[in-house]
Chain A
Amino acid sequence: MPTPQTPAAGRPDGPAAGGLVLLILRRLRDGIITLALVVAVIFVLTNLVGDPALVYAPVDATDEEVERLARAFGLDDPFLQRFAEYFVDVFTGDFGDSHWQKRPALNAVFDALPNTIMLTLAGIAGAAVFGIIGGIMAGARPGSVFDRVNNLTSVAALSVPNFWLGLLLIVVFSLRLGLFPTSGKLGWSSIVLPAATVAIVHGGRIFQLVRSATVEEMSKPYVLVARSKGFPRRTVLWRHVLRNTGLTTATIAGWEYVRLWGGAVFAIEWVFAWPGIGTLMINAAHRQDFFVLQAAVIIAGAFVVTSNLLVDLMYRAIDNRVKAS
């Protein structure tokens, strides 16, 4: 759908709206190119690392038995032919059938996908509360008890592997306190610990950046002027400082969300036996169940692309300056 390039003229929302559509279209185009690259790279990589028929066959299988499986898997066609077919299939929505699961690879991914979405959203929400609100409050009064405790927590959370933190939470909140189930997805309470792990680790990083941005902003002359004019500290903080640190905040929060999809959440899913696509991918990789692995990577890639687009749109909502570019 071509967008008419209306000249700026007098109506202020005209160019902005047109620019928005253009931006989305441009990003979608980039996204599709990125995904095409992802498809190519993942297909080549997975097919380079091994032989799915050999992994599927029993340990003592004869050459003939392995060949028979390879034929059944369609692996005896030339590599380029399989690549071309896969490429075309993927863009028509056919991600192939899993030989292990005996069903379309996409079904396996769609079974797991809602769980990962749920966990990343709950986790990033927690991370935003801890990181953004905590960071602003800590940055407003650097050196206070609140600042020190949260600072210590976030540094500690950043210094340990996320799966280890997950295990620690299991030991404390499941085994010692008996508040939540250790693992699985048995009810609403099951999401608390994995989401808290995401929130602490990723919120910790958000906290660090938001805090330092706030400290810096608070030291600017306009804050001093506003304060000396008698504006309450709270007003200055939440009305002016927050707005000026908003871009940093949105960038880092969006980036942390994208990081989750880039793999950070997968180890957490694994530890908590959370049935998301991380666990699915790891098992698929072990089994060289290529179609599932490829589908999962491509879908996760699509989430990264979409999330990036949403972050960009968020910038525009937050900061007028971005609209110009």
Chain B
Amino acid sequence: MRPNRNRAVARWLLAVSVMALVAAGCGGDDDGGAEPAAPVTTAAPADDGGGGGGDAPAETTEAPAPDTTEAPSETPTTEAPMEDMEPQELVIAVTTEPSTLDAQVVNDRAARVVTGNLFESLIFRDRNAQLAPGLALSWGPVDETTWEFTLREGVEFHDGTPFNAQSAAFSVNRMVAEDFETQRGSYIRGILSAEAVGDYTIRVSTDGPDAILPLQMAQVPMVPDGAGDEMNDSPVGTGPYMFAGWDRGQSITAELFDGYWGDGGSIDRFVVRIVPDKQTALAALQNDEVHLVLDILPEQIDMVPQAKNVPATEFSYIAFNTYVPEMSDPRVRVAMNLAVDKETLAASLYGGFARPNNAQHLTPESLGFNDDIGPFPYDPDQARALLAEAGYPDGFQVTMNVPIGRYLRGEETGLLVAQYLEDIGLDVDIQQWEWNEYRSAGRIPGTEEDALDLKYGWNSNEWFDSARVASHVTCGGRSSKICDELVTEMFEIGVTVVDQNERDQAYQRAWARLHENPHAIYLLQQDLIYGMAANLVWEPRLDDEYYVAEMSLS
């Protein structure tokens, strides 16, 4: 008995001392993290993120796998030469499990990491976030309410059925059906139906002139003719990867589709692993269990083998209720924009992984971006002068509303901005909200008593088009608490006139106007930061898509 007991004691002592050592080690790491310049490869600055050339996602060629060219799919017996080649497997960690894999239903990022590789739309976005031919080669308006798409020939679904006008029309009609529950509602808004008018031509009709139909169609994934509920757990698309398995709660696997019409990827299979806890995901990355972790924090950069960042299509702002008497004067709103030091905000709260918003909720690649407009400078003196000019030399009382746990450092941003506003003489109350209540409260029209004075939020513009912001800045818009006739008129042109140049000009005028008559305190454009394995070769995309065909392992 005695020797046993001693061994047990020894084991515990060992474990305890190991823990103590590790604790010491962790302390050391923390110290390192405090230093600003980290010894990590960080991606080239913002604008370079999309500089990789304008080819469509699936057409990007990355060192083609030698086997796929050598053994065309016809002969299933060519397994032998595969043996000496270790199939390349890539693992991506996501925090939430996709609820379904039907690309026409889901739209959250975790699901898109999977479905974006299995499904394709008629229109793609290239690496510069511009619309590019996808399963449609060309498209254009036929009349006010009809668009025609000419489809690519020779495309096949993973189940072997051909992609043609019939399946394309079916795909659109399936999604716009009244009883189809989809999270992609904003992409089918205004679309009535689609019909095949030839073997490889379809027409899509809308309930009015719809200038943004092409960008909507970029988010309408194509499914086989007659697809139904089976798409939820055994999806079939035309993408470079085909669904291979779903281990509920754990992982989803997809394999290279050898019947793919374009250039496939060099990765033979990829696994999307569900790791809810970010700390655990980072540990898994350090332990070589996963290759890519999305959305890491600035302070976690030191913990990963390789980090890359890309400017996100996320713009933080604090919306005004311009119907509040004190804030009805544009001078007051300009003053409040001048009062906030955006540079300090970006540097202090986001470790530099954010930049002042160009006062237009748009990336420079987006349609309607106005080059002449930049961030409001930090000028508290002028802000005070403007306030006095508007008749509020002693400021006024205002409530700032911030949701809890919704946006990265949102609560801290609220506090910091409130501080800046108090510096120019305002009296700011901060009110924090649970997200779903906040969302409802945020929609109360500005003219009503319960409307929120100041509302913090992030606007995501994954359309790369000013139209995405319409509901925030036009008279009577869903989330709008401003009514400027010129802006409304220009946005009307933007969503109805088909000519892209005309739209661009209209939006630019609207943004210029919104600079004089701001609808919000424009804060920051945020970054997305990725933790990557040392051997993962990949440039993050501007459009928040994760195409495995663009990734490779060195």
Residue in contact with B249 in the complex, picked from A61, A103, A115, A163, CB distance below 8 Å: A115
Closest to A270 in B: B276
Closest to B186 in A: A58
Contact B277 A273 (CB under 8 A): yes
Q: Find chain A residues with CB under 8 A from B280 CB.
A: 167, 170, 182-183, 271-273
Residue B474 CB within 8 A of the other chain: no
Q: Find chain A residues with CB under 8 A from B273 CB.
A: 184, 273
Residue in contact with A182 in the complex, picked from B1, B22, B284, B436, CB distance below 8 Å: B284
Q: What's the dominant secondary structure at chain A's contact region?
A: helix
Residue A276 CB within 8 A of the other chain: yes
- One of B12-20, B367-375, B386-394, B493-501 contacting the partner: B12-20
Contact A55 B436 (CB under 8 A): yes
Contact B181 A69 (CB under 8 A): yes
Q: Find chain B residues with CB under 8 A from A283 CB.
A: 96-97, 276
A189 to chain B, nearest CB (A): 12
Residue A72 CB within 8 A of the other chain: yes
Residue A225 CB within 8 A of the other chain: no
Residue in contact with B12 in the complex, picked from A54, A149, A275, A280, CB distance below 8 Å: A149
B4 to chain A, nearest CB (A): 10
Q: Find chain A residues with CB under 8 A from B183 CB.
A: 56-58
B284 to chain A, nearest CB (A): 4
Q: Given the complex of chains A and B, what is the CA–CA distance between A177 and B185 in angstroms?
A: 49
Q: Given the complex of chains A and B, what is the CA–CA distance between A4 and B228 in angstroms?
A: 56
Q: Find chain B residues with CB under 8 A from A108 CB.
A: 248
B184 to chain A, nearest CB (A): 7
Contact B9 A145 (CB under 8 A): yes
Residue in contact with A181 in the complex, picked from B9, B26, B100, B289, CB distance below 8 Å: B289
Contact A54 B439 (CB under 8 A): yes
Interface string of B106-128 (1 = CB under 8 A from A): 01000000000000000000000
Contact B283 A62 (CB under 8 A): no
Contact A175 B19 (CB under 8 A): no
Q: Given the complex of chains A and B, what is the CA–CA distance between A275 and B249 in angstroms?
A: 5
Closest to A171 in B: B22
Q: Given the complex of chains A and B, what is the CA–CA distance between A172 and B23 in angstroms?
A: 9
Residue A60 CB within 8 A of the other chain: yes
Interface string of B232-250 (1 = CB under 8 A from A): 1100000000000001111
Q: Given the complex of chains A and B, what is the CA–CA distance between A233 and B395 in angstroms?
A: 82
Residue B337 CB within 8 A of the other chain: no
Q: Given the complex of chains A and B, what is the CA–CA distance between A184 and B400 in angstroms?
A: 42
Residue in contact with A150 in the complex, picked from B12, B97, B179, B286, CB distance below 8 Å: B12
Residue A30 CB within 8 A of the other chain: no
Q: Given the complex of chains A and B, what is the CA–CA distance between A282 and B249 in angstroms?
A: 12
Contact A184 B12 (CB under 8 A): no
Interface string of A279-302 (1 = CB under 8 A from B): 110110011110000000000000
Residue B447 CB within 8 A of the other chain: no
Q: Find chain B residues with CB under 8 A from A159 CB.
A: none
Contact A58 B185 (CB under 8 A): yes
Residue A308 CB within 8 A of the other chain: no
Residue B75 CB within 8 A of the other chain: no
- One of A79-87, A94-102, A202-210, A243-251 contacting the partner: A94-102
Contact A183 B436 (CB under 8 A): no
Residue in contact with B185 in the complex, picked from A65, A98, A176, A279, CB distance below 8 Å: A65
Q: Given the complex of chains A and B, what is the CA–CA distance between A146 and B13 in angstroms?
A: 10
Q: Find chain B residues with CB under 8 A from A29 CB.
A: none
Q: Find chain A residues with CB under 8 A from B107 CB.
A: 58
Q: Find chain B residues with CB under 8 A from A275 CB.
A: 247-250, 274
Q: Find chain A residues with CB under 8 A from B294 CB.
A: none
Residue A185 CB within 8 A of the other chain: yes
Interface size class of A (residues with CB under 8 A): 35 or more
Contact B100 A101 (CB under 8 A): yes
Q: Find chain B residues with CB under 8 A from A33 CB.
A: none
Contact B229 A279 (CB under 8 A): no
Contact B100 A102 (CB under 8 A): yes
Residue B275 CB within 8 A of the other chain: yes
Interface centre among A185, A234, A272, A283 (most CB of B within 10 A): A283
Residue A309 CB within 8 A of the other chain: no
Q: Find chain A residues with CB under 8 A from B465 CB.
A: none
Contact B276 A174 (CB under 8 A): no
Contact B178 A102 (CB under 8 A): no
Residue A307 CB within 8 A of the other chain: no
Indicate whether A168 sits within 8 Å of B19 (C-beta atoms), given known contacts A111-B248, A184-B273: yes
A259 to chain B, nearest CB (A): 21
Residue A68 CB within 8 A of the other chain: yes
B109 to chain A, nearest CB (A): 13
Q: Find chain B residues with CB under 8 A from A174 CB.
A: 283, 287
Q: Find chain A residues with CB under 8 A from B181 CB.
A: 56, 69, 72-73, 99, 102
B190 to chain A, nearest CB (A): 11
Contact B100 A184 (CB under 8 A): no
Contact B19 A60 (CB under 8 A): no
Contact B185 A61 (CB under 8 A): yes
Residue A51 CB within 8 A of the other chain: yes
Contact B179 A100 (CB under 8 A): no
Interface residues in A178-232 by Cβ distance below 8 A to B read 178, 181-185
Residue B145 CB within 8 A of the other chain: no
Q: Find chain B residues with CB under 8 A from A12 CB.
A: none
Indicate whether A171 sits within 8 Å of B283 (C-beta atoms), given known contacts A184-B251, A270-B276: yes
Contact A276 B275 (CB under 8 A): no
Q: Find chain B residues with CB under 8 A from A183 CB.
A: 275, 277, 280-281, 283-284, 289
Interface string of B275-311 (1 = CB under 8 A from A): 1110111011011010000000000000000000000
Starting from the known contacts A72-B181, A183-B281, A275-B247, 7 additional A-B residue pairs (CB-CB under 8 Å) come to A146-B5, A149-B12, A175-B283, A183-B277, A270-B277, A272-B280, A273-B276
A-B contact pairs, 22 of them (CB 8 A): A49-B436, A54-B436, A54-B440, A69-B181, A72-B181, A101-B99, A101-B232, A102-B229, A103-B232, A103-B233, A152-B16, A168-B22, A170-B283, A174-B283, A174-B287, A176-B22, A184-B250, A272-B280, A273-B277, A279-B274, A282-B276, A287-B99
Q: List the 9 shortest-distance A-B pairs measured between CB atoms, nearest first.
A: A275-B249, A100-B99, A111-B248, A273-B275, A182-B284, A182-B283, A50-B436, A102-B232, A58-B186
